Amino acid sequence: MTDAALPHAAAETAAPVRRDFGLKRRHAAEARFRFYGIAAITIGLAFLAILLISIFSKGYTAFVQTSITVPVEFSAQIIDKDDKRATDPKVLVSANYPVIARNALAKALGVDPADKKAMKEISNFVSDGSRSLLRDIVASDPSVIGTTRNVTLLAAADIDSANKGQIDLNVPEAKRKVSDQQLAWLNQLKAAGQVSTPFNWGLLTFGASSRPETAGLGVALVGSLYMMAIVLLCALPIGVAASIYLEEFAKKNRFTDFIEVNINNLAAVPSIVYGLLGLAVFINFFGMPRSAPLVGGFVLTLMTLPTIIIATRAALRSVPPSIRSAALGIGASKMQMVFDHVLPLATPGILTGTIIGLARALGETAPLLLIGMVAFVADRPATPLDPATALPVQIYMWANEAERAFVERTSGAIIVLLVFLALMNLAAILLRRRFERRW
Amino acid sequence: MKIALFASAAVIALASGMGAAAARDQVQVAGSSTVLPYAKIVAESFGEAFPDFKTPVVESGGSGAGIKQFCEGVGEDKIDIANSSRPIKAEELDTCKANGVADVEEVKIGYDGIVFATDIAGPDFAIQPADIYKALAAQVVVDGKLVDNPYNKWSEVNPAFPEWDIAAYIPGEKHGTREVFETKLLEAGCDKPALTAAGIADADLFKTCVAVRKDGKAVDIDGDYTETLARIDSNKTGMGVFGLAFYENNADKLKVATVGGIAPSTETIADGTYPVSRPLFFYVKKAHIGVIPGLKEYVDFFISDDMIGPDSPLAEYGLVAAPDAEREAIRAKFAAGTAM
């Protein structure tokens, strides 16, 4: 009996083999697909890591700045030789402050002021920006004239680079920007504890400058801020109004279809086209000032509008029709239905779309080129009508500079821009979480 | 919500009421990226030395684009100064005049040298214009016939050169530098009698001389010198074309070649022995002088010896100062208000 049962059992165990629907193959396909997916993500992450590592490793040094603290003698002999400042305050403005800084440093280093060559190297040791630094000290407190006090001067860019170890000292002296003498002075000052590397607030506050050590993102940050405010104030109401009308009120006919196609097209138009439009309309036709964040804001508004309209329409469409029917059913007017019921439910989607549009606008340079915002602007703008630049523009301008010290500042500026973008995207996520409702 | 709506309405109203722009109170400059670093230094120093005036705004974008903007017309919404690394062309001046920019003042600020450089570890190059022509021209004469450039290595061009594959990074066609490169090197190194013998008509001589090979051995760089430097960083046997100022700022990375036996320096360029140099200019709209606050003062400040003299910050950055008499002439010309 047992013998007879065996073939039967064999047939039973063989049965699943006959019912094979290619399970093994399908599982293999799934495993392969998962592998491809993971590989794709890994490649993406690897490139992101390379980007971030290269930017941060080059850029973190831009956030500190070598500074030298020396006792500075505000010699009345140099600032105001003829003692005229009571009658002619202009002498305090045009006084030869760089000489004061140079003499102070020469004294600290024990260099003979008669040694012309050494004095020249010393004046290349501190930033030319000490002119305005010392001038501001004297302007705010003229009683300082004739006294000596400790002042922290910025080191010149090449000295700063040398202090940060960015200059290759194996290169012959004649071929590098820092002489052996200057390096010896730097070490002498370091030993005396007069060299410090504080946080480089100037990177965030100074305007553009041809000297790396006094170059900062101040003008660019203000310009970007103005433009973002203008984009928000113009694009959001116009975009939302257009979307509500198209989605809730307009009849569906060929004309509205035509508009929809156009809006989708505009969202994909290269941004430089908006720059050309801005130049022709805002500057040449309306006569608005060149290089002004107001014009930049309008151009970026035009660029952002299609994105906001598309996002808002999608958000409105995702509100269930039952909400509309219920509102209409209890006697609400169409307007009440839209503003009291549909719009609040669509808010998270609208906000997300707007912030993503703003983030894209924040990173734009091409349209700004044509309206004159890719420029050297040293004065911080007081109003949106004054010349200004933008964050990505400043990055571009610094990337083209010849001086070595601008390399780290370029990466530093990219870090600042990335922080802003990350904050905006974080805000988008938080707002969506806060307002999101599920059915 | 109400406040936001009100603010939006205010901005849009401001936009529509902007017909008459507020009076501009700072000088606006645009143009050459070669002149840009100098103009930036002057603008910054001007802002510091003249606290009554705002710091001029200097846009970049290239000589051609700057002159085009400059020639768009007269008025507060048009720029005051165009920087240029080449003299304005006759047709550009015609456009200017057609658009109402009748009086254009030309101001020369000094000279700029154009240098060839390789990686710092490379051998010494002693270039003659003929070598550059032979290495980079699209077609050269071999055995009396015009053929596509057959040379692949520098050593084939001149036995004194290393056995490097030819890879030259030259300024793109939108650069003012390209014109100097063409006339001072390619045309100068071109063997015109041989071309004529090979059957090229006189009218086509210049075009044939300055046509650059398109087989990838000569690469047009449309960006700035930083891009050229990056190319040489990644290809240690490449040769790049730089401005003297840029080279001097990166002398620890680059080795400069002599041209015609002369090493480029401010001295050899100033006395004219180094062959590849060119004057730098800016153009001023005469109609804006006295209207835009600070414009006259800015130009006066720019051409003072404090800025373009031999010991000035511009010279330190790499500008080759014009000789004393020429600088005096530049100042006299601007003071007299001579228009083109």
Q: What is the ipTM of this complex?
A: 0.79
In a domain, A41, yes or no: no
3-state secondary structure of A19: coil
In a domain, A138, yes or no: yes
C-alpha gyration radius of chain A = 33
Query: Is the model more confident about B180 or about A216?
Result: A216
Q: Tens of pLDDT along A375-433?
A: 999 988 998 999 999 999 999 999 888 888 898 999 999 999 999 999 988 988 888 88
In a domain, B332, yes or no: yes
Task: Tell whether B97 and B132 lie within a shared domain.
Answer: no
In a domain, A346, yes or no: yes
Per-residue three-class SS string for B103-115: CEEEEEEEEEEEE
From B227, B258, B277, give the residue that closes a domain. Answer: B277
Task: Tell whether B135 and B98 lie within a shared domain.
Answer: no
Task: Tell whether A167 and A241 lie within a shared domain.
Answer: no
| Residue the block writes with tokens 């009120």 | A249
- What does the longest C-alpha to C-alpha distance in chain A come to? 131
- Which chain B residues are Cβ-neighbours of A402 within 8 angstroms? 37, 225-226, 245-246, 249-250
Task: Tell whether A160 and A257 lie within a shared domain.
Answer: no
DSSP assignment string, B166-189: P-EEEE-TTSHHHHHHIIIIIIHH
Q: Does A145 touch chain B (CB under 8 A)?
A: no
Domain that holds residue A305: 218-435
CATH number, domain of B135, equals: 3.40.190.10
Please tell me what DSSP assigns to residue A14: H
pLDDT band at residue A325 under the 50/70/90 scheme? very high
pLDDT, mean over chain A = 88
Q: Tens of pLDDT along A331-346?
A: 999 999 999 999 999 9
Yes or no: say if B301 and B42 are a contact pair by the CB < 8 Å rule.
Answer: yes
CB within 8 Å: B37 and A401: yes
Task: Tell whether B272 and B301 lie within a shared domain.
Answer: no
Which ranges of chain B have pLDDT less than 70?
A: 1-22
- Which chain A residues are Cβ-neighbours of B72 within 8 angstroms? 284
Rounded to 5°, angle at Cα B159 from B158 and B163: 95
How many domains would you assign to chain A? 2
> Among partner residues B15, B54, B55, which is closest to A298 by beta-carbon distance?
B15
Task: Tell whether B245 and B158 lie within a shared domain.
Answer: yes
CA–CA distance from A16 to each of A21, A27, A29, A152 (Å)? 10, 16, 21, 85
pLDDT of res. B7: 63
Task: Tell whether B91 and B46 lie within a shared domain.
Answer: yes
Task: Tell whether B237 and B298 lie within a shared domain.
Answer: no
Domain that holds residue B241: 113-277
How many domains would you assign to chain B? 2
User: Average of pLDDT values for A300-314?
Assistant: 94
> Among partner residues B43, B224, B251, which is closest to A400 by beta-carbon distance?
B224
Q: Tens of pLDDT along A74-120?
A: 888 888 777 777 777 777 777 788 888 888 888 888 888 888 888 88
pLDDT of res. B80: 92
Task: Tell whether A195 and A84 lie within a shared domain.
Answer: yes
In a domain, B11, yes or no: no
In a domain, B78, yes or no: yes
Q: How far apart are CA B58 and CA A392, in angstroms?
A: 17
Q: How far apart are CA B184 and CA B115, in angstroms?
A: 12
In a domain, B118, yes or no: yes
Q: Tens of pLDDT along A30-58?
A: 999 999 999 999 999 999 999 999 999 98
Rounded to 5°, angle at Cα A54 from A53 and A57: 75
What burial letters (b/e) apply to B95-110, b meaning 16+ CB within 10 Å? ebeeeebebbbbbbbb
Task: Tell whether A119 and A194 lie within a shared domain.
Answer: yes
In a domain, A36, yes or no: no
Residues 93-112 of B with CB under 8 A from A: none
In a domain, B136, yes or no: yes
Task: Tell whether A184 and A237 lie within a shared domain.
Answer: no
Task: Tell whether B77 and B200 lie within a shared domain.
Answer: no
Task: Tell whether B138 and B222 lie within a shared domain.
Answer: yes
In a domain, B212, yes or no: yes
From B257, B277, B297, give the residue that closes a domain. Answer: B277
The pTM assigned to this predicted structure is 0.83
pLDDT band at residue A17 under the 50/70/90 scheme? low
pLDDT of res. B253: 85
> Among partner residues A208, A236, A286, which is closest to B18 by beta-carbon distance?
A286
Task: Tell whether B122 and B266 lie within a shared domain.
Answer: yes
In a domain, B8, yes or no: no
Q: How far apart are CA B166 and CA B238, in angstroms?
A: 7
> Percentage of chain A surpassing pLDDT 70?
95
| Residue the block writes with tokens 């143009």 | B31
Q: How far apart are CA B276 and CA B262, in angstroms?
A: 10
Task: Tell whether A260 and A356 lie within a shared domain.
Answer: yes
User: Average of pLDDT values for A354-362?
Assistant: 91
Task: Tell whether B288 and B299 lie within a shared domain.
Answer: yes
Task: Tell whether A136 and A274 lie within a shared domain.
Answer: no
Task: Tell whether B104 and B123 lie within a shared domain.
Answer: no
In a domain, A114, yes or no: yes
A238 has pLDDT over 90: yes
Q: How far apart are CA B244 and CA B241, in angstroms?
A: 9
pLDDT of res. B19: 43
CB within 8 Å: A287 and B77: yes
User: Average of pLDDT values for A154-178?
Assistant: 85
Task: Tell whether B294 and B262 lie within a shared domain.
Answer: no
Task: Tell whether A243 and A331 lie within a shared domain.
Answer: yes
Task: Tell whether A172 and A90 lie within a shared domain.
Answer: yes
In a domain, B219, yes or no: yes
From B227, B242, B277, give the residue that closes a domain. Answer: B277
Yes or no: say if B139 and B311 are a contact pair by the CB < 8 Å rule.
Answer: no
